[in-house]
Structure 1
Amino acid sequence: MLRMSLLATLAFSLCQTPVQAQMSHHQHASEAACEETALRCASKVAPAFASDGTLWLAFMAGGHISVASSKDEGRSFSTPVQVTREKLTLDWGPDARPQIVIDKNGGIALAFSRFRDKAFNGQVLTTRSADGGQSFAEPQPITASNESQRFVALGLDADGSVFAAWIDKRNRVPAQQEGKKYEGAGLFFASSKDGGATYSETRLAADNTCECCRIGLAFASPGHPVVVFRNIFEGGVRDHAVMTFADPASPGEVRRVSNDDWQIAACPHHGPSLSVSPAGTYHATWYTNGKARKGLFYARSQDEGRTFSDPLPLGRANRNPTRPYVLAGPHGATMVWKEFDGEKTAVNAMTSHDEGKSWSKPVAIATTTDTSDHPLLVSNGHKTFLSWMTKADGYRLLPIGDGS
């Protein structure tokens, strides 16, 4: 159960008006509190713990990607190191954020996307630090393709290799030239055997996926990445799917997470989340506005995504629940999401200690009356934390239970 200390509210915030944000991101070009490259000005933050317990943040601020570290679980941070050398038009879409993974030797791999033009065509860039975050190599494109790439996800495999997946539009023009109808984009992937310094040739995992939602990435076991994404099924239905790779170079079948029947020819900008427990349970959370169901949902699979449990609704419908995130941590699974009551936003949390069969009652663990990033979860191997960037109050790291 969540400890009573979590009931104390912190001053936190709302990322954007929930209904508007689900359908359009063009109005959210700047969510930052200021235009400097300092952490307090960050609009998007991604956390990761190193094996020595150091918390690292990759964040967007002032048109740059930077990193900062904390030795005391987020109470204080090092002076940020600027990763990008020139100011970029970074991808500010609601589901876009930098990605960071840290290997056992302290090597840091980063990936992020920038806009190449005013039509929101993106480019995924990657870089690596081999000196513990003191400096980074010049960011390089993850692929030579000039077509749009966005919403990259990075994962660190057990052997230290890095797996990357993203949404890519390179198949759109060839299909149109052949007179074929082409919806959405493609799910592409690549891997790195040198800690993110270089990546393999990119390959297609699945075509005709939704082009504007974040994807969830986890590992079912060493060498077996799992990706959850909003797919485009027959009839233009944009429901979620999961894919388990046979190995980092071999995509698996596209398996449906839930039949929500959301037929829409637009971009929801509201992607899913995925985590796999040590016991092999797939935990998935997502948003839908389909005919079968509407709102936030959770489901679990114990057969590598072949079948999922009946969707469990999350949050209160009259409070616009948004941005669900799930993590199978050291003492069970945790879910968080945001709700807005008309005055303030609350991050709510639930925990499970039986592989997602049952969940604790929702508890509001943080609130605010200003804007904020999405709520994320991160683990140091001992505890699970809420990671949340807020405009009014800066970055916060809040422990969520320890199994007691």
Structure 2
Amino acid sequence: MTYRKPVALTLLATLMLAALPSLAVAQMSHQHASEAACEETALRCATKVTPAFGRDGTLWLAWMAGGQISVANSKDQGKSFSTPVQVTRERLNLDWGPDARPKLAIDAKGNIAVAFSIFRDQNFNGQVLTTRSTDGGRSFDAPKAITTNNESQRFEAIGFDPAGAVFAAWLDKRNRVPAQQRGQKYDGAGLFFASSKDGGATYSDARLVADNTCECCRLALAFDGAGHPVVVFRNIFEGGVRDHAIVTFSDLATPGEIHRVSRDDWQIAACPHHGPGLTVSPEGTYHVTWYTNGKARKGLFYARSRDGGKTFSDPLPVGQPNRSPSRPQIIAGPQGLVMAWKEFDGQKTTIDLMTSHDDGATWSKPTVIADTADSSDHPLLVSDSRQTYLSWMTKADGYHFQAIEGEP
């Protein structure tokens, strides 16, 4: 299987290369180049960029820059974008944590739901805000809190189920103070959820899935073949072990049993800031990727479940241990499974990729598909009905939206 890197197409890329000769032409991406100390709300200034495809094939981006959340769309697979629309009305103290980013989801009618979090104080207590657009992204409702509770909420995940309802999950510390008032020790946060039957205008009351989860790692959300939400999260097991767990909902209001993804035995009284990846293939298989620094294993790993998350295959090591592999993502695309992650060789960061055409039984050899010499966002994978793409924001080289092309 072969892959092609994006090629610079604009004068802007040429001018930037003249100013920064150490950058490679192959790593520039159209006109969406990043700028040093950029405080504008434009895409070129973004630190976190999140993609999603609409049913009609339109690519949507939500990003944080200049203290605000913006949205734009592309009809040509990321070569050009519409004039950005401001989701927020004012500069906010957006959650800049390593695993935080704006989230967006698009339903079959083109309605858009957006969620993001802000810091409310110097102790990193957060608040999850949500908004929606019912006019094709031309305007958004004023953002409002997803819950009335005043404790900390962060690391939200949202998605539309097949019936058009929004499902949301997040990490919430509302049980911390009551526990402390009872003289009890309280570790981590709680995994909470809510749903919206009106496209994100209003959400149901928040409900608890599990308490004492890790408080600072992103959640992974997907829907199974029946449209039920599936969430993977870093849990705090007995003895302070922060390994991953999974829960499948029987409907939007009913979480099922919690199962352990693997026994890595990472005992740590701190925040890893490193969440998992999840996708559900057409065959109904759950595919999970994650990072651990446990006693049993260290590094990036992959496992799959054919029984709805009750049991998982033996963890498969991913990446080169001597290059600090991190930030794994996985997606079931139209041509099979794609897994991507970051590696660092001491000078540059690469995005490495593997594919599987037999539902995760075997994987191709890793291939480097992009690199940068400066800081960068997590690599993200997104797919329409025909192609899988890499979405990656870099400080030095700008925004990449790159087709993952291969020969059978």
Q: Which runs of 5+ in 1 are unaligned?
A: 14-30
Show CA shifts across 1:321-365 (max 9, x none): 110000111111110000011111100000001110100000000
| Residue 111 of structure 2 corresponds to residue 95 of structure 1 | no
Show CA shifts across 1:1-23 (max 9, x none): 3x34259884279xxxxxxxxxx
AA paired with 2:324? Answer: N
TM-score by length of structure 1 reads 0.93
Conserved? CA contact 1:382–1:402, under 8 Å: no
Aligned to 1:52: 56
| Residue 146 of structure 2 corresponds to residue 130 of structure 1 | no
Conserved? CA contact 1:32–1:43, under 8 Å: no
Q: CA deviation at 1:181?
A: 1.7
AA paired with 1:149? Answer: Q
TM-score by length of structure 2 reads 0.92
| Residue 27 of structure 2 corresponds to residue 11 of structure 1 | yes
Q: 1:351 aligns with which of 329, 332, 355?
A: 355
AA paired with 1:328? Answer: A
AA paired with 2:77? Answer: E
Counterparts of 1:33 and 1:78, CA distance in 2: 24
Counterparts of 1:247 and 1:4, CA distance in 2: 40
Q: 2:186 aligns with which of 158, 182, 189?
A: 182
* Larger RCO (alpha carbons 8 Å, 6+ apart): 1
Secondary structure of the residue aligned to 2:208 is strand
Conserved? CA contact 1:67–1:83, under 8 Å: yes
Note closer, same or farther for the CA distance 1:251–1:32 as it changes in structure 2 (3 Å cut). Answer: farther
- The percent identity for this pair of structures is 72
Q: 2:273 aligns with which of 263, 269, 276?
A: 269
Counterparts of 1:63 and 1:194, CA distance in 2: 28
Conserved? CA contact 1:7–1:363, under 8 Å: no
Q: CA RMSD in A?
A: 1.6
Counterparts of 1:147 and 1:187, CA distance in 2: 13
| Residue 278 of structure 2 corresponds to residue 253 of structure 1 | no
Counterparts of 2:225 and 2:342, CA distance in 1: 30
Q: CA deviation at 1:223?
A: 3.6
Q: CA deviation at 1:228?
A: 0.1
Note closer, same or farther for the CA distance 1:92–1:211 as it changes in structure 2 (3 Å cut). Answer: same
Counterparts of 1:194 and 1:128, CA distance in 2: 10
Counterparts of 2:52 and 2:170, CA distance in 1: 19
Moved over 4 A (4+): 6-9
Q: How many residues align?
A: 386
Counterparts of 1:33 and 1:145, CA distance in 2: 36
Counterparts of 1:288 and 1:337, CA distance in 2: 14
- Equivalent residues in 2 for 1:208-247 (5 A)? 208-247=212-251
Q: Which runs of 5+ in 2 are unaligned?
A: 8-23, 30-34
Conserved? CA contact 1:12–1:366, under 8 Å: no
| Residue 335 of structure 2 corresponds to residue 331 of structure 1 | yes
Q: 2:169 aligns with which of 165, 171, 188?
A: 165
Q: 2:381 aligns with which of 372, 377, 384?
A: 377
